[in-house]
A and B are shown apart, each in its own frame.
Chain A
Amino acid sequence: MIRFLLRRLAFALLLVIAVSSSALLLTRLAPGDLTTELGPRARAEDIARARERFDLNRSPVGQLGGWALRAARFDFGDSFLYDRPVSGLIRRAAGNTAVLAITALAVATFVGIPLGIITGSRRGGMAALIRGVSLLCLSIPPLLTSLLLVFLASRTGWLPAGGMTSVEAVDAGWSAWLLDVMRHLPLPALALALPLAATFERLQAQAMTETIHQPFVTAALARGVTWRQLLIDHAWRASLRSMCAVYGLAIGALLSGSFVVEYVTAWPGLGRLMYEALRARDVYLVAGCAAMGGVFLAIGSVVADLLLFAADPRVREATAE
């Protein structure tokens, strides 16, 4: 077990290095550089100074080397856009996204998976309706979903139409701040959770349907196990194996932040930061964000494997060999 985790840690590190290096190189190779942020009327001296400060006169590989050496000492460079060290920016943004991601994941899990179990094990109007709604959620682009939710929020005034905190919270204390964030969470969380719940529902339904036809289910029923017991204790667990892989992916993707949702709902998260860094060709910020994304994916990967391990005894046995 320990060996397993250590090996995964080693690979995760490799992954993070590979991804952030690629991101940095790709940003250098893309047309334009961060000096375009100074605008088309920028002075030559300002451009030269910016290029010097951010090592743009070095070759891409040279810059990568320099960055890697500093990164080993946990110095991830500065951001041009914000004129601050990259690590502080990413820490804050990642934290905000993590809050959103965990909420969205929870909602998607507690809504999508039970609904999937239902649609996978029954026929009838209810199942068809749920299926229809799922498919609808999958057909609408996240841009429109977010905008529609902002539209809804601004029309009804039930929820704040964007942002992470309100102005009033400026003067308030800790608990009021927490409450304030919780009021702002539903909008972006819902925008993220709807398509995810739909995905979970579809996959769970399919996995459920297959499992139900297995001989052990009929055998259990013959033994006298009730339908409800059967679903939860026996069938569901067996259907988990493909879900786990997807779940791990979902964790990784959510934690990296969905740019569209964060952009439209003005949530100050990692996805938005990454997109704006890329748009502005802010090299070090891009590398930092990619590294963070790599870390999260690695976490998600490990979680997925652990879940699979816990849920499926066959895999447990196989790994023990």
Chain B
Amino acid sequence: MKARLLGIVVTAAILAGGYWVWTSPDGAGGLGRQNAEREGGPQHRGGQLVTSGRAGPRTFNRFVGQDQLSSVLSMLTMGHLLRVNLSTFEVEPWLAEKWDASADNLTYTFHLRPGLMWSDGVPFTADDVVFSLKAIFDAKTGSYLQDVLSVDGKPITADAPDASTVVIHFPAPSGPGLRLLDSLWVMPKHKLESALAAGTFAKAWGTDTSPSDLAGMGPFVIREYVPNQRIVLDRNPHYWRKADDGTQLPYLDRIVYEVIPDQDAELLRLQSGDVDLTQSELRPDDYVPAKRAEDQGKLKLAEVGLSPKADAFWFNLKPEAWKSDPRFAFVRKREFRQAISYAVDREKYAENVYLGAAVPIWGPVTPGNTLWFWPDVPRYFHDVNKAKEVLKSIGLEDRNGNGVVEDAQGREARFTVLTQRGVGWYERGLAELRTQLAPVGIAIEAAPLENAALIQRMLGSDYEAMYQRFGTTDLDPASELDMWLSSGDAHFWHMGDAHPEPWETEIDALMKSNMTTPDQAKRKEIFKQVQRIHAENLPVLYFVAPRMYYAYNVRVQGVKPSVLRPVALWNADMLSVR
């Protein structure tokens, strides 16, 4: 009898507690940091910021580590001569306070700021810059930055006439020019000289390096790294930068980077205030919880702009991959792809796939890429009848009335499209595409694959069609040369293109010219031609560019979200918390 009573009381208590938790506003206890204060207000020194990401870094050696987190860590702990402001996309002086250009724009003399010091107190000199370039181009290091810091295949070189002057030599006229130097992160000569001499530079500064052996010119220094858990970064006491009012930057005492592998759990912790900001923009399905949190005064939801990159849909254009498959005869015709572009209703696509938060596009460059977007690129407006006509003009029509078009020999336009598993808008995008291509008679079947399998197929050209998005680190098309050039390693629709078509050769020539023309206006004109040729031949189809939304805790001040990653931390030295 007593036991039964106890059971009833316990059950009632649990149910009541559950109800209370469910209906309570976020952060009813403990960690809720609700703030009625408005945004703005003066920024103070002090405090700690918690950020999060999917995984930990693979190495602290910036010249070897290519993963996204290495890039974030560089921005936090390292310095460069100049930087590209990710809000204005302009080049600004950084470690160098000014520079002079030679008449032919091939030689630049950088004047370093006075009194620069490494985080361990050792003075920073021009020798460090020369050393860094030397390390990058050392054969044993095999750094991926070699490609970035070269023009026309020849390396950029530097020398140091005195301790506070660096002279940079470009081997040939360069289109991106000084922007390339944004990637020249400077590593300390006094710490790594011996490693370079011994040929072990590539192995130096792995994640098991003791933090006291690291040194950088960035606003923060690594204090501790617990593998798979977190990185703790403390303020660099010798950081050179000051705010406009003379306050020594960075404002923050400490940044904590938590490793949270699951994106849903990360969102929950962002909402509850456990995490102040994340590395990536919100997924379209996460808009609603973020909005709720904003309404409750916990988060600030910002519309950053349009994403500079969009989902791409393309057919494998490598003849060797199709072997004797007769479908390739019509896939390789540009009219086939043009018909698809006519068939798709991009507005509807934006509604269904991105819940309306996207704009139609017809080329690889979106309006989010404010510097290079060309609105007059040839467009194929939605017209199902036109699409059918175009298909008919290359011999594809529905002769047997089964809803799928076929060629004169009866080979149907039926394809399997590969995409990455587990990404909601890819799967929704393909479902929408399937629905929209059905009236025109093209049948596609989606096959979501795990990422490793997908990449393997792409690199091996072992697929019929694919649907994917590639990220970008810079808005300048020069950073994607390996995609544009038919001989490039990332020419994804036709890997290892041995016999480029005339239009591909034309693009090759134009891109090379774009790379080596210093006049920015001319470069834009050249790139417009590239976009035009791309739109006429449609090796890849683009439909919509999604809007980017970013949410962060209201206590963080100074956030300037960028369409490029890292969305907020690129400006880490100017961030502060209330």
A167 touching B256 by the CB < 8 A rule? yes
> A45 to B256, alpha carbons, bound, how many Å?
35
Q: Is the CB of A147 within 8 A of B264?
A: yes
Partner of A125, one of B7, B59, B147, B269: B7
> Which among B27, B32, B229, B452 is the interface contact of A279 at CB below 8 angstroms?
B452
Binds B, one of A15-23, A76-84, A214-222, A310-318: A76-84
A:240-292 near B, CB below 8 Å: 263-266, 268, 272-273, 276, 279-281
A154 touching B21, Cβ below 8 Å = no
Residues of chain B contacted by A155 (CB below 8 angstroms): 21, 24, 26-28, 272
Contact A147 B265 (CB under 8 A): yes
- Beyond A40-B455, A150-B268, A150-B269, whether A170 also contacts B11 by CB under 8 A is no
In the bound complex, what is the Cα–Cα distance between A276 and B21 (angstroms)? 34
CB contacts (< 8 Å) of A93 on chain B: these are 228
Q: Is there a chain B Cβ closer than 8 Å to A33's Cβ?
A: yes
Closest to A278 in B: B452
Taking CB atoms, residues of chain A closer than 8 Å to B11 are 129
**Residue pair B48, A280 in contact (C-beta under 8 Å):** no
A95 within 8 A of B: no
**Given contacts A83-B207, A125-B4, A43 and B226 within 8 Å (CB-CB):** no
A163 at the interface (CB under 8 A from B): yes
Residues of A within 8 A of B453 (CB): 30-32
| Docked pose: A266 CA to B483 CA in angstroms | 36
Structural contact, B452 and A280, CB atoms closer than 8 A: yes
- Inter-chain contacts of B264 with A (CB < 8 A): 147, 264
Q: Could you tell me if A43 and B144 are in contact, using CB atoms closer than 8 angstroms?
A: yes
B31 partner residues in chain A, CB cutoff 8 A = 154, 157
Q: Could you say which of B7, B32, B451, B458 contacts A157, with CB atoms under 8 Å apart?
A: B32
Q: Are B258 and A32 in contact (CB-based, < 8 A)?
A: no
Decide if B356 is an interface residue (CB 8 Å cutoff): no
Sorting the interface of chain B by its residue count into under 10, 10 to 19, 20 to 34 or 35 or more gives 35 or more
Q: Is A266 a contact partner of B265 (Cβ separation < 8 A)?
A: yes
| Closest residue on chain B to residue A266 by CB atoms | B260
Contact B223 A170 (CB under 8 A): yes
Q: Does A135 contact B (CB under 8 A)?
A: no
Question: Which of chain B's residues has its CB closest to A147's CB?
Answer: B264
Expressed in whole angstroms, the minimum distance between the Cβ of B456 and any Cβ of chain A is: 4
Query: Is A84 within 8 A of B206, CB to CB?
Result: yes
Chain A 20-62 near chain B by CB (<8 Å), digits 1 or 0: 0000000000111100111111111110010000000000000
Residue in A81, A82, A163 whose beta carbon sits within 8 Å of that of B230 in the complex: A163
Expressed in whole angstroms, the Cα–Cα distance for A151 and B18 within the complex equals 12
Separation in Å of the A126 CB from the closest CB of chain B? 5
| B3 is an interface residue with CB less than 8 A from chain A | yes
Task: Collect the chain A residues with CB atoms within 8 Å of residue B144's CB.
Answer: 43, 46
- Mark interface residues in A125-161 (1 if CB within 8 Å of B CB, else 0): 1100100000000000000001100111011111011
Known A-B contacts A40-B455, A40-B490, A42-B489; A273 and B228 likewise in contact (beta carbons under 8 Å): yes
**Chain A residue with the shortest CB-CB distance to B492:** A40
Determine the chain A residues whose CB is within 8 A of the CB of B48 once the complex forms: 167
Across the interface, which residues of B come within 8 angstroms of A37, CB to CB? 452
A89 at the B interface (CB under 8 A): yes
Chain B positions 24-40 with a Cβ under 8 Å from a chain A Cβ: 24, 26-32
Q: Does A121 contact B (CB under 8 A)?
A: no
In A174-215, the 8 Å CB interface with B consists of none
Interface status of B295 (Cβ within 8 A of chain A): no
Query: A161-B269, A279-B451 are known contacts. Are A272 and B261 too (CB-CB below 8 A)?
Result: yes
Complex Cα spacing A162 to B489, Å: 40
The answer, among A156, A268, A276, for a CB contact under 8 Å with B229, is A268
New contact pairs (7) apart from A31-B456, A84-B208, CB-CB < 8 Å = A40-B455, A41-B482, A83-B58, A93-B228, A124-B4, A268-B226, A276-B261
5 chain-A/chain-B pairs, Cβ below 8 angstroms: A84-B227, A155-B28, A165-B226, A170-B224, A268-B229
